[in-house]
């Protein structure tokens, strides 16, 4: 008989939470508290958000792991290695969360002391409970002036009970009593303090370090177990790259031992087995990867030497291979077409990547590390349909490609529909909105026009109201810009997948039409001043335009073709140089996400390393009229 053994010197834990509840800041504090920054005296905040887009947007996009070494009172003198996985909080990056949960033995559920559980909290917690992982509840930001700690703990426990009850029907041996026996830690990640004692609202925890958090992790997150004498089983959960070593496969070892130079069996997605050699083995220490000679069960390491390895594959024994099951992720709900730049201004940026082959190669590389993304061919050989979990995830991919020097034409995001029992179904979202009371009517009206149904409303007497809606996913395309305008930038909206429901009917995304340039040229101040009563411009004077390019938003519902290149007639009384910018309203500059939201069905977004432009799919005015007539027939 084979015996089960335990690695008491090791813990693997993921930190999961809603967006902006402080996961990455807490990881910073854990690293500082255990001395991991000793060799990095000038380390920035949120070191785990290493990507440029993560720093700019203030969100975690990719799941990353770090290691802290704890030897405090709770470890009884033993030096315990704690592998910490920092996960994204946005449901659009749910594939990262699912991968992270396959690496760990427990989760720290982090909840803001004022906002409480929000949609992404529900999303990540459901994934953790479905994986039968023990949960530690951590109430963060206890020093917020609007903290309501007891209520947030109650809401979190209600959420736990509700999710566990739902999952009990799917998972036969789910222990409801064990799920509800959740330890609660109160913390301020920014201050680097945590305590098991509940502080008063708005106050810091009574302990000056994170000792109580580490002690709770050691007590409630089980140490990794493995089968004594079992063959090697190591699951690939992430990919990285090194300029010296090439592709790195990040994996968790479930059984057996992995050593540098070892010959192992590579169990691939297609079921084939291939012998490979581990040319390099790397362990994580704080913020760095260090060379290692061997690694045992429960450890999370990186290996080099396998160029085409993919996420979900297994490294196992070469004589007795035993592959692990593939990682399963939720199906995509949003699709978007990406192709070469077909505008008249294509190829103007020196060194830009403009060919279909370059774009296809880049999309194929994205598939390697992004398990929640799918790519399908279209009728055109120079365009592809990209399917993902949400609009933000697809916009992040496009922005990354833009910064890498690609020129693209991107279509309006669409939902992925299904036929269930002969009826057309579409994805829905469960949306939670926090906003001041005075905007409640405007928000309700806005979502009602997008086929949203209010399921609950709560007023805590603070002047703010929380509303929950069930909305078609396509109704949220272009929603956030309108929402921020209606709430004057104060509203907070977040959503998670609500499954598929019958098609909700037609939705009017935008009530205003577009101002479309009717000829190529350069936008003149004279023309823009005369046209600015017609709507809002998106471009600056002297910008180069082409026929079919959208230069602004019409104040009326229909599109309007305008001559934005018109110049003032020269006379002997006044020179053309007397044009003034003083009477011109500053243009509204749209970000990539706002441009994708603004575009209508017959519009697309032109993206270059230097410019983001919105244009008609059919550029010529007469061609658009002919197409509209043909469609009408």
DSSP characters for 223-285?
PPEEETTPPPEEEEEEEEEETTTEEEEEEEEEES-EETT-EEEEE-TTS-EEEEE--EEEEEE
Res 360: pLDDT:
92
Q: Is 54 left (phi over 0), alpha (psi -120 to 50) or beta?
A: alpha
Q: Is 143 annotated as a binding residue?
A: yes
Res 600: pLDDT:
86
Helix, strand or coil, per DSSP, at residue 7: coil
Helix, strand or coil, per DSSP, at residue 590: coil
List, run by run, the mean pLDDT of 10-residue segments along the chain (633 residues).
Answer: 75 80 79 66 46 46 71 81 74 60 86 81 77 88 89 88 75 67 89 91 90 91 88 84 75 89 88 88 79 88 82 87 78 87 89 90 80 84 87 82 92 88 88 87 90 86 84 83 80 79 83 90 90 91 93 90 86 54 81 85 91 92 87 64
Residue written as tokens 């279909």?
356
Q: How far apart are CA 452 and CA 457, in angstroms?
A: 14
Q: How far apart are CA 559 and CA 510, in angstroms?
A: 12
Res 146: pLDDT:
85
Helix, strand or coil, per DSSP, at residue 23: helix
CB of 16 within 8 A of CB of 109? Answer: yes
Q: Is 21 annotated as a binding residue?
A: yes
Res 520: pLDDT:
93
Res 577: pLDDT:
47
Which residue from 24, 158, 5 is spatially nearest to 88, judged by alpha carbons? 24
Q: How far apart are CA 309 and CA 314, in angstroms?
A: 9
Q: Is 141 annotated as a binding residue?
A: yes
Backbone angles phi, psi at 390, to 5 degrees: -165, 170
Q: Is 8 annotated as a binding residue?
A: no
Res 138: pLDDT:
92
What domains sit in the chain, N to C, each tagged with a CATH number? 4-226 (3.40.50.300), 229-316 (2.40.30.10), 418-502 (3.30.70.240)
Residue written as tokens 């496009």?
398
Please report, for residues 72, 530, 552, the alpha-carbon distance to residue 466 in angstroms, rounded to integers and kept in the order given. Answer: 42, 44, 34
Q: Is 585 annotated as a binding residue?
A: no
pTM of structure: 0.69
Q: How far apart are CA 292 and CA 278, in angstroms?
A: 12
Q: Where are the alpha helices (DSSP H) in 493-598?
A: 525-531, 592-598
């Amino acid at each position: 008989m084979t015996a089960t053994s335990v690695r008491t010197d090791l813990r693997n834990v993921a930190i999961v939470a809603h967006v902006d509840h402080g996961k990455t800041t807490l990881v910073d504090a854990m690293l500082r508290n255990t001395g991991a920054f000793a060799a990095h005296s000038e380390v920035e905040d949120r070191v785990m958000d290493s990507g440029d887009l993560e720093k700019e947007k203030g969100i975690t996009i990719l799941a990353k792991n770090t290691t802290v070494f704890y030897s405090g009172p709770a470890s009884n003198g033993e030096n315990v290695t704690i592998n910490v996985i920092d996960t994204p909080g946005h449901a659009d990056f749910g594939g990262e969360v699912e991968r992270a949960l396959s690496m760990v033995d427990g989760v720290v559920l982090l909840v803001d002391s004022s906002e409480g559980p929000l949609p992404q909290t529900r999303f990540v917690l459901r994934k953790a409970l479905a994986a039968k992982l023990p949960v530690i509840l951590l109430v963060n930001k206890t020093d917020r002036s609007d903290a309501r700690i007891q209520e947030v703990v109650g809401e979190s426990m209600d959420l736990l009970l509700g999710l566990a009850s739902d999952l009990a029907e799917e998972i036969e041996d789910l222990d409801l009593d064990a799920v509800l026996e959740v330890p609660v830690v109160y913390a301020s990640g920014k201050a680097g303090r945590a305590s098991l004692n509940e502080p008063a609202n708005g106050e810091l925890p009574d302990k000056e370090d994170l000792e109580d958090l580490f002690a709770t992790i050691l007590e409630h997150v089980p140490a990794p177990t493995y089968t004594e004498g079992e063959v090697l089983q190591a699951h690939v959960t992430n990919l990285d790259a090194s300029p010296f070593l090439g592709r790195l496969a990040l994996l968790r070892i479930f059984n057996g031992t992995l050593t540098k130079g070892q010959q192992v069996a590579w169990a691939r997605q297609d079921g084939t087995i291939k012998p490979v050699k581990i040319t390099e083995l790397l362990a994580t220490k704080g913020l760095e990867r260090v060379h290692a000679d061997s690694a045992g069960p429960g450890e999370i390491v990186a290996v080099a030497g396998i160029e085409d390895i993919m996420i979900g594959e297994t490294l196992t024994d070469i004589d007795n291979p035993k592959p692990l099951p593939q990682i399963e992720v939720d199906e995509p709900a949003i699709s978007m077409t990406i192709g070469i730049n077909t505008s008249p201004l294509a190829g103007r940026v020196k060194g830009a990547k403009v060919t279909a082959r370059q774009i296809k190669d880049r999309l194929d590389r994205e598939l390697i590390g992004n398990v929640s993304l799918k790519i399908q061919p279209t009728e055109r050989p120079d365009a592809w349909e990209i399917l993902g979990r949400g609009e933000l995830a697809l916009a992040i991919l496009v922005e990354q490609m833009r910064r890498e020097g690609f020129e693209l034409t991107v279509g309006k995001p669409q939902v992925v529909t299904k036929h269930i029992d002969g009826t057309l179904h579409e994805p829905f979202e469960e949306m939670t909105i926090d906003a001041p009371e005075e905007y409640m009517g405007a928000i309700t009206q806005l979502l009602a026009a997008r086929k949203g149904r209010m399921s609950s409303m709560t007023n805590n007497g603070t002047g703010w109201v929380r509303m929950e809606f069930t909305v078609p996913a396509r109704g949220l395309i272009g929603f956030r810009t309108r929402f921020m305008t209606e709430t004057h930038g104060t509203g907070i909206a977040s959503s998670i997948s609500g499954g598929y429901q019958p098609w909700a009917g037609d939705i009017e995304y935008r009530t205003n039409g577009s101002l479309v340039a009717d000829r190529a040229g350069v936008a003149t101040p004279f023309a823009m001043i005369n046209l600015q009563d017609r709507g809002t411009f998106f471009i600056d004077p002297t910008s180069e335009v082409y026929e079919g390019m959208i230069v602004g938003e019409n104040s009326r519902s229909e599109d309007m073709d305008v001559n934005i290149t018109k110049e003032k007639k020269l006379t002997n009384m006044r020179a053309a140089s007397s044009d003034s910018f003083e009477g011109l309203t500053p243009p509204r500059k749209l970000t990539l996400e706002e441009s994708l939201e603004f575009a209508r069905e017959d519009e697309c977004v032109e993206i270059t390393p230097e410019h983001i432009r919105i244009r008609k799919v059919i550029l010529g005015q007469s061609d658009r009229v002919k197409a509209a007539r043909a469609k009408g027939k």
